[in-house]
Every structure is written in structure tokens, then in C-alpha cells.
Amino acid sequence: MRTKTGRFYWWACLLWLGGANAYAQVASKVHATEADPARMEAELSQIQSTPVRIGRLVALGRFYANANPEKALQFARKAEKEAKTLASKPHLAEARLTLGYIFLQQSVFSQALRYLLAARQQFGRLRNFEKEAEAYLLLGQVYQATAQSPEALKNYQKALSQFRKSKNEPGEAEALGHIGHIYEKQMQWETARQYQRRALRIYQKLKNPTGMAQIYENLGSIYEDWEKFDTARRYFEKALALNQAANQQIAQLSNLNNLADTYRKQGEFEKALVYTQKSLEKSRFLQQKYQERSALKDLAKTYAAMGNYQKAHDYLLQSYELYQEIFNGESTRQMARLQTIYDLQEKEKEIALLGRDRQLSRLQNGALLIGLGLLLALGLLLYSRQRLKLHKNREIIAQNQRIYEAQHELTQAELQNAQLNEQKLKTELENKQLREEKLQDELLAKNRELTTHALHLIQKTNYSMP
């Protein structure tokens, strides 16, 4: 059974193992060259394809999540930025999932929650059930770490549903294990056992020794809660054997401590001391201070149960001193992590501000150039219109001149015609007068002739009268 004093370490281990398992499938798909982070970083500048580069940045972010959080955040944030530039929703969701994972590993739960919720929502819209399940699984760990068991259970159940949709059996088994653990903490041990056994069957089918060892550990804890110590011990021994075969040194520490607990609770103190001492030595060798403190406390409990209160006091004092060291160190690391995150955010804000300033400057310069261009265009337009107007005026003047000249010529022609007509009329009048004079002359001549003839007749008549 995990005691209250050991829960902090247990949660740290669960967080590390759970986070690692959540990305196990993704990691298995990463190219073999990506096992070398130095080579991965060196190749970044040579990658021309933005999607490939984003994938490499995400892989580096995951790789450094525990070893170098600052570096991990830089890679993950760069992946997020490039995904935004590319306007690729799948890559953006992947980058945010990685950021959430990094913050979870560093126990910065508020930021982890923010990024994981965003990633879960985006993967849901993309109908990427496997990635959505990973986000739900990590969200469950965030809620579990912050003592929000109902929310944790809800997210683990959603993760289970989505892993089933995507036919992801390792993910399904991991979700079942987490759900079983929640029910164990709620003292619903039978329900917890059923979930753990379902997870175990999947891991056995997949021949996954690491997963099997974790579930054996969980089942042992349930039987320990039931005070069925012999059954609990068999499961702890199975977990220890698998972890020894797989050389999982850190996981063995919890197995040894749990075995010691079962012996102590059954009154077999000497056996309990053997296992606890092994756990203490191994935890010191591996520099696992949480498990070292847990072993010191267990030794104090065992010696107290044996009546050796001096040794119990000594080990308890060592446990307390180590607790102070852990607490101070963890506080310092947490402050350093928060400071790192703050510094990164400030740098990003500064970069964003500089970017906005540059953008504003470009906009101002662009506006100025556009204004100058508009003024120039307006000037050219006015000049062009003025030239056109002058040209039209010249054409109008020329046309008027042509009209005037034509009218003048027409007037001259009409004048000449009038003069000619006048001359013609005058000539005709003169001719008429001449004809009239001629007629008058002819008439006078006729009259004279008639008169002469008449006189002649008269005379002739007179001569012939008797």
C-alpha cells in the first residue's frame, strides 16, 4: 500500500512513467537518427521541409523534457511558432501536446492544463482519435497530480474510449491502469482490481514486460489494501522479477519497498529490514532521494515495531533531514523552472513586441510609400488631365479656326457669287434695256414705215378719187 508519506515520490514516478508511456508509440516512429539529440539539432538547419522540421523540433522537445526543460521548451515553442506560420492545424496540435507534456513533467500544472486542453480540442476537431486520447491521458495525470480525482477519472475514461476507437492497445492498457488506480484511491478495490486485470491481459498479449510489471505493482497494492499480504507479495515479486530482467533499476526501488511493507505488516521484521536495506542502498546508488527517504521511514517503522526506538529515531531523523533537503531542492528547482519559464515568456514577449514594432514600422513605411505613391499618382493624374484639357482646348481652337476659315471662305464665296449675280443681273438688265431700245427703235421704224405706207395709200387714194 502506498502510504501518505510515500505518495509524493510515487506520484513523481507515475508522472514520469505515465508521460513516457504516453509518447511511447510516437517515439517508436521517430527515425533512428533521432536517437542522437546532437545529430538531431545539427540536422535542423539542413531540413528544408517545414513539416519535417516541426516534427524534429517536437521530438527534441520530448527528448529534453526531463533532462533540460529550458531547451525542451525552446524547441517546442519553435515548433509551435513554425506550425502557426505554416497554418498547419495537425502540427500546431502536436506542438501544443508536447508543450503540455513538458510542463507536466516539470509540475507546472496550470501551463500544462492550458496546452493540453488546446491540443485535445484541436485533435478532436481533426478526428485524430489516437492523439486526442494521448491528450486526455496527460490531462488525467494533471488532474490526478492536483488532487482532482473526478476530473482525472473522467479524462482517463475518455482516453480509454479514444484509444479503443484508434485500436491502440498499449494506450488502452495504460488508460485502464490509471482508471484502476483512481478506483483504488477511492477504496473501490474490486472495481480497481477488475481494471488492472484488464490492463494486464492486454500487456500479456502484447508481451510488454514494463507494462506488466506496472500492473503487477498496482495489483499488489490493491491486495495490500485488502490486507491479503501473501497475494500482494506474489504480485510485488512478479513485478520485481520483470524489472530485474529488463534492468529497470528505478522501478525496482518501489518493488523492494512494497515487499518490505508486506513482511513488516505480517510481523516478519528481519525480512522486512533486508528488503528495505536493499532499497535504501540502491536508491542512494541511483541518487533517488524520494525513494531513499521512503526507505529511511520504513526502517524507522520497522525498528519501532521491533522496539528499537533509538534506531527508529535515528532513521526518522535522517528521513526528516532528507525531506528538508528534498523540499528545499525541489523548491529551488521549481523556482528555477518557473524563472526559466518566465524568462522564456518574457523573451517571447520581447521578440513578439519587436516583431510588432517591425511590423508597425513596415506598415508605417508602407503607408508612407502608399501615400507618396497616391500623391504621385494624383499629380500624374492632374498633369495628365491638364495636358488632356490643353490638348482638347488646342483641338477646339484649331477646330474653331477651321470652322472660321471655312465660314470665311464660304462667306467670300457667297460674296463673290452675290457680286457675280449682281453683275449678271446688271448685264441682263442692260441687255433687256438694249432689247427694249432695239424694239422701240424697230417699233418706231415700223410706225414710220406704216405711217409712210399709210400716207402713201392716202395719197394714192386721193389721186385716184374722182
pLDDT in tens, 29-47: 333 344 577 788 778 878 8
In the predicted model, what is the mean pLDDT of residues 323-329?
A: 79
Instruction: Please report whether residue 362 resides in a domain.
Output: yes
Assess if residue 449 is contained within a domain: yes
Residue 97 lies in a domain: no
Q: Is there a domain that residue 406 lies in?
A: yes
Range of the domain at 435: 355-466
User: What local confidence, expressed as pLDDT, does residue 282 receive?
Assistant: 95
Average pLDDT, the chain: 83
pLDDT for 424 equals 78
Range among 73-82, 229-238, 425-434, 449-458 rated most confident: 229-238
Percent of the chain with pLDDT over 90: 50
Whether the pLDDT of residue 9 is over 50: the answer is no
Domain assignment present for residue 57? The answer is: no
* Number of folded domains that form the chain: 1
Residue 141 is predicted with a pLDDT of 96
Mean pLDDT of 200-207: 96
Give me the pLDDT at residue 295, please.
94
> What pLDDT, on the 0 to 100 scale, is given for residue 360?
75
pLDDT exceeds cutoff 70 at 214: yes
- 385 occurs within a structural domain: yes
pLDDT band at 257 (very low <50, low <70, confident <90, very high): very high
In tens, the pLDDT along 71-125 reads 888 899 999 999 999 999 999 999 999 999 999 988 889 999 999 999 999 999 9
Residue 182 and residue 203: Cα distance in Å, rounded?
19
Do 301 and 312 form a contact (C-beta atoms < 8 A)? yes
Q: Decide if 396 is inside a domain.
A: yes
pTM, entire model: 0.68
Position 10 pLDDT exceeds 80: no
pLDDT tier, 223 (very low <50, low <70, confident <90, very high otherwise): very high
pLDDT tens sequence across 346-396: 666 666 677 677 777 777 777 778 877 777 877 777 787 788 777 887 888
Average pLDDT over residues 265-282: 96
**Is 450 part of any domain?**
yes
Lowest mean pLDDT among 42-56, 176-190, 302-316, 351-365: 351-365
d(CA 427, CA 420): 10
CA distance 410 to 55: 92
